[in-house]
Amino acid sequence: MSASSLEKGLQDYMQQRAKWESEDSSGSELPAYPHDHYSAYSTSASIFQQDEDYYVYDDPNLDPQVQILEDESPYPEVRSAVANTDDPEMPAGTLRAWFLGILWAILIPGLNQFFFFRYPNVTVGSLVAQLLSFPVGRILARICPRVKIFGVSLNPGPFTIKEHVVVTIMAGVGAASAYATDIVAVQRIHYNQTYNFGYQFMVVMSTQLIGFSIGGVAKRFLVSPPSMIWPSNLVYCALFNTLHSQHYAGVGSHGGISRERFFFFAFSAAAIWYFVPGYLFTGLSVFSWVCWIAPNNIVVNQLFGYQSGLGMSLITLDWTQIAYIGSPLAAPWWAASNVAFGFIFFFWFITPILYYTNTWYSQFLPIMSRSAYDNTGKIYNVTRILNPDDFTLDEQAYRAYSPLFLSTSFAVSYGLSFASITATIVHVILYYRKQIIVQARRSLGEQPDIHARLMARYPQVPDWWYFCIFASMFAFGVVMVELNETRMPIWAFVLALLIAFFYVIPIGIIQAITNQQIGLNVITELIIGYLLPGRPLAMMLFKTWGYVTMAQALMFTSDFKLGHYMKIPPRTMFWCQVVATMIAGTVQLGVQSWMFANIPNMCDPDHPEHFTCPTTEVFYTASVVWGVIGPGLQFSKGMVYNFLLYFFLFGALAPIIPWYMTKKYPSGFFRYVNVPVIFNGPAYIPPATSANYVAWTITGFIFQYVIRRRHFGWWSKYNYVLSAALDAGTAVGTILVFFWSVCFEVSLDMSFSQIVFSAQPTIPTKRLDRKEYYSAMVGEHCLAEYCGLQQDRAAYCGAGVTFWTFMVA
């Protein structure tokens, strides 16, 4: 870059900045995050001239001290992990890359699907494939002959970093269990419905690949803008560059050991250390020392216990617990602090208040549980209220049996899900509306930063490719709905896809900046529960198409951003993602079918090999709450959980306060407040617990705040490398421990491995005998006007009046 062009670029930038300051002083709208009025990143005079009204917003991830240059990123996280150069001649989609990618697309999804139904489970992430494929690729480069097969070179030379990225993306695109496989499992276990493989295949493929086509549309909003940094991808970028070169563009100290050696030491230490909390002394995984002191105190167990308590005293030295909700070394500290505030306020402050005031009859139930209960405090027996012919709600049986009750923490988590949906819409409207409008007018060819300019030389994926994927998968969905007894109309299928399409950009913006994704699972359950009550299968399908389609779109978009950072040709990215998704989904269905056919008593709570299916149980509970019974009998006026609907209003109003305070006090801490993240941060509860959130927050504070501020050079060089090493090393350690203890049937019975986590995990605060408890709850049921067909109404209401009199007293 010549001195004259640099001078001109800086001159243009200063003129534009003067214009922003003038607008601000005249009362114009304040940018989203006042962080010193740097542009989201563009110094190109041509871009300024083309989009003078471009909405330049402030960003808490932005480095306000960075010198504005054309060939660097203003984000220190990006500069420390991503190279700002590219070799367009470097091969990416080679034959050996496809071979390794397909191999991992079979092995990892199959292995993870096998462990998916086990608790605690073992998850092999794409980091393991990223680590192991590197030496394998180098070996193939040495031993394979340099010949061509149908014009394609079998060995084009050294194993390149771009090949490595392609292999890793193919390994990770289907690594997690497909959400739709839970539909198949719930149907088989709880509803005694077994459909053929064609039905299962169409469900999985339609949910996975429709999301891919939507992600292709969202690329221009969520990939090209440099402010959409996608923090989790920086871990992968750091590891790629560490493995392939000690010297890549970035900031940080030139002293100290190399990134490669640092990664090797940290990886080895993490793998070895996991034997301690995972095998030798499991108490170090979740050590509730207060419950150890007072194991028989019910209140102590409720507040400090791990299994069904609030975990206020938990200590963990287990990386699987610390990183359960994501790596704390990847999330910016300002975002992590929002998550921590949401968790502490709603689950350590609000939940105990609700519980000990007996709101929603909570004291008759555990304070934290993922199950549904009847009016006797027992697990809800859904078979008693289902029509055996079509698996719909039998209202007479329901009125004769019991309403459904949830633990306080489960109910609060539903309320937070409601709030996060409306908060996301309002937050994006307040902060990002101008950016979205301007970006919608921009073509894909007008790229603002160095990485996008480097990618502009590659042919883009035509929009009609994504349309073909969408059309074929839409046809899959229609055929599956029409040819099977789903009791789901086509209009509901279309509505689910519209919800996913509407939310993908606002939620994607939140995730790309904060590393936190807002889930649509509860809002889709609520909508279909009101539209089609009493149809559990229709509810599960609607939720999957509405929620997972959006989640898959963002996962594919995140991969697009990884390819963007690593300069992978877009068309190579397209095909490797599509092929790997289809292979992974097929393998997962095959493994699941084999397991249910060959493993006795699958999903039994006392299964000897711990195949208890915890996530399937949560999925089933949701199908009962929203599908069988429906929100009309749970959340409508007069129902037990009606108050939770006010969380929609609460979520819509909450972002206005920090937005206004930010506008009034630009330098205040309100610029870092992100209300959707506060509401959605605790979304992993259940099944996540306090052990995960507390340790995650503390670790994030140490690395993303203390070390980043005081030792920025060390942080820039090693932070993301350390995150990758801990994830990969712990994953390898869990696999070794699992096969050592299960396959060789070796176990320990040591005192420190049997520490009390929650001595009385399911004992509620209050108890009534069966008859009294039943009468009280049915009395409330009557007040909701859903009883009286088989019993005398006056007798029920008399019991209800007695109960409320007792409660007031």
13, 41, 70 — which closes off a domain?
Answer: 70
Scanning the structure block, which residue is given the tokens 């007072």? 294
Max avg pLDDT among 35-44, 193-202, 318-327, 406-415: 406-415
How would residue 610 be classed by pLDDT, with cut points 50, 70 and 90? low
DSSP letter (8 states) at residue 379: B
Angle, vertex CA 136, rays to CA 134 and CA 142, nearest 5: 110
Residue 476: half-sphere exposure toward Cβ, Cα within 13 Å? 20
Distance CA 9, CA 29 (A): 26
Q: Which of 299-303, 428-432, 517-521, 760-764 has the lowest mean pLDDT?
A: 760-764
Decide which of 80 and 652 is more confident.
Answer: 652
Quick one: pLDDT at residue 668?
A: 79
Q: Which residues, including other chains, have CB under 8 Å from residue 155's CB and lie 6 or more apart?
A: 96, 140, 141, 144, 145, 146, 147
Q: Is the pLDDT score of 77 beyond 50?
A: yes
Query: What mean pLDDT do residues 603-609 have?
Result: 74
Q: What pLDDT does residue 133 have?
A: 87
Q: Does residue 270 contact residue 730 with C-beta atoms inside 8 Å?
A: yes
Q: What is the pLDDT of residue 436?
A: 61
Average pLDDT over residues 142-165: 86
Residue 288 has, within 13 A of its CA and on its CB side, a CA count of 26
The residue among 70, 98, 128 that closes a domain is 70
Residue 802: which domain range?
766-808
What average pLDDT score do residues 224-246 get? 80
Q: Is residue 545 part of a domain?
A: no
If you average pLDDT over residues 47-55, what whole number do you get? 37
SS3 307: coil
Give the pLDDT confidence score for residue 60 in this predicted structure: 53
At 105, give phi and psi (nearest 5°).
Answer: -70, -15
Residue 63 lies in a domain: yes
Residue 654 scores a pLDDT above 90: yes
245 belongs to a structural domain: no
How far are the Cα atoms of 444, 503, 624, 793 from residue 391, in angstroms, in the given order? 49, 31, 11, 28
Per-residue tokens: 148: 């061509």
* DSSP one-letter string for 229-260: --HHHHHHHHHHHHHH-S--S--S-S-SS-HH
Q: How confident is the model at residue 222 (pLDDT cuts 50, 70, 90)?
A: confident
- Residue 276: pLDDT over 70: yes
Side-chain half-sphere of 224: how many Cα atoms within 13 Å? 24
Structure confidence at residue 757 as a pLDDT band (50, 70, 90):
very low
CB 62 within 8 A of CB 35: yes
User: Is the Cβ–Cβ distance between 317 and 277 less than 8 Å?
Assistant: yes
pLDDT of residue 173: 86
pLDDT band at 48 (very low <50, low <70, confident <90, very high): very low
Contact 170, 580 (CB under 8 A): yes
Give a three-class secondary structure readout of 586-650: HHHHHHHHHHHHHCCCCCCCCCCCCCCCHHHHHHHHHHHHHHHHCHHHCCCCCCCCHHHHHHHHH
444-471 tens-digit pLDDT: 444 467 777 888 888 888 889 999 999 9
Residue 30 lies in a domain: yes
Q: Is residue 757 part of a domain?
A: no
Average pLDDT over residues 677-700: 83
* Burial class, 553, CB count within 10 angstroms (exposed 0-12 / middle 13-18 / buried 19+): buried
- The percentage of residues in the chain with a pLDDT greater than 70, rounded to a whole number, is 77
pLDDT at residue 97, rounded to an integer: 92
Q: What is the mean pLDDT of residues 5-24?
A: 42
CB 362 within 8 A of CB 368: no
Which stretch, 26-35, 195-204, 483-492, 578-587, has highest mean pLDDT? 578-587
| pLDDT at 241 (0 to 100) | 84
- String of DSSP letters for 667-696: TSGGGG--HHHHHHGGGGTTT--HHHHHHH
600 pLDDT exceeds 90?
no
Pairwise CA distance, residues 152 & 96, whole Å = 10
> Which of 47, 70, 93 is where one domain is finished?
70
* Residue 428 pLDDT level (bands cut at 50, 70, 90): confident
In the chain, the percentage of residues whose pLDDT exceeds 90 is 17
Mean pLDDT over 794-804 rounds to 31
What is the average pLDDT across 524-529?
A: 88
687 preceded by a cis bond (ω within 30 of 0): yes
For residue 742, the model assigns a pLDDT of 64
Per-residue pLDDT for 749 more than 60? no
- 364 to each of 156, 295, 358, 686, how far by Cα in Å? 68, 20, 8, 19
Determine which of 22-36, 48-62, 576-590 has the lowest per-residue pLDDT on average: 22-36
Looking at residue 743, its pLDDT comes to 63
Average pLDDT over residues 649-668: 89
Q: What is the mean pLDDT of residues 296-303?
A: 80
Lowest-confidence region among 85-99, 353-367, 745-759: 745-759
How far apart (Å, rounded) are the C-alpha atoms in residues 103 and 100? Answer: 5
**Is a pLDDT exceeding 70 seen at residue 9?**
no
- The total number of structural domains in the chain stands at 2
**469 or 432, which is more confident:** 469
Q: Which amino acid is at 255?
A: G
| Tokens 């940080």, residue located | 252
> What is residue 218's three-state secondary structure?
helix
Predicted local confidence at residue 763, as pLDDT: 53
Strand 287-288 and strand 152-153: pairing?
A: unpaired
User: Does pLDDT of 474 surpass 80?
Assistant: yes
Query: pLDDT digit string (tens) for 376-426?
Result: 888 888 888 888 777 778 888 888 888 889 889 889 988 998 898 889 888
Q: 384 near 650, Cβ under 8 Å?
A: no
What average pLDDT is seen over the chain?
A: 76
User: Does pLDDT of 691 surpass 90?
Assistant: no
Give 75's pLDDT tier (boundaries 50, 70, 90).
confident
Cα angle value 729/730/736 (rounded, 5°): 95
117-126: average pLDDT: 71
Q: Is residue 225 part of a domain?
A: no
Express each pLDDT in 361-386 by its tens digit. Answer: 888 888 888 778 888 888 888 888 88
Mean pLDDT of 327-344: 87
Residue 674 has pLDDT above 50, yes or no: yes
- For residue 556, tell me if it sits in a domain: no
Considering the domain boundaries, does residue 787 fall inside one? yes
| C-alpha radius of gyration, the chain, whole number | 27
What per-residue confidence (pLDDT) applies to 748?
53
CA angle centred on 578, ends 577 and 583, rounded to 5°? 100
Q: Give the pLDDT band of residue 764 (cuts 50, 70, 90).
A: low
